[in-house]
Amino acid sequence: LEVFCGVAELSRQVSHTGRWVLMWDISFGDGYDLLRLSNVRLISGWLRAGLIWGIHFGTPCQSFTRARDRPGGPPPLRSNACPLGLPDLARSADRLAVFRGNSLMRASCRLFLDAVAMGVPCSLENPAFSRLWLCPGPTQILRRASVSFTITDFCMWGKPWRKSTGFM
């Protein structure tokens, strides 16, 4: 299962091995929205029932990005000291972006832990220096002996850009 699959490049690559891959992304409609608890419970049930053999999360990183720290750009939504969101966000759109980002991160962490509990191989990716990695959920998961973290650059995998990416 590729959750937050976007253009589903991972799914396409895995399907070349002869295995089928279920792609999950909000772009397919509300039935794929992980802001809906019923959808999180559905995937959790699939994991507990042994229906998923591997799961990858490409958790949205927009609100966790450090790019907003640059002068002249949009204002920051988070800081290293406040990775779950700055307390004084004036715009409702910014507060909503932080809420959505936190909710999707928490859903990813919950399902990641379900996968670990069931012995299902899993991974979660985000930019290497994303503030997602500073949040309580990922930091607690990374304390587990069975979970590791690595960074790779996309250029090492044939892409024309560097994009340092962290994988849990």
**Strand pairing class (55-57; 2-3):** parallel
Residue 133 pairs with which residues in a beta bridge? none
Q: Which two tokens stand for residue 11?
A: 């799914």
Q: Which two tokens stand for residue 96?
A: 């909503």
Give the model confidence (pLDDT) of 109-157 as tens digits.
999 999 999 999 999 999 999 999 999 999 999 999 999 999 998 777 7
Instruction: Provide the pLDDT for residue 56.
Output: 95
Give the model confidence (pLDDT) of 35-84 as tens digits.
999 999 999 999 999 999 999 999 999 999 999 999 998 899 999 999 99
For residues 1-21, average pLDDT: 82
- For 160, what's the count of Cα atoms within 13 Å in the CB-facing half-sphere? 0
Instruction: Provide the pLDDT for residue 131.
Output: 98
Instruction: Provide the pLDDT for residue 163.
Output: 82
- Please, are residues 11 and 58 in contact by the beta-carbon 8 Å criterion? no
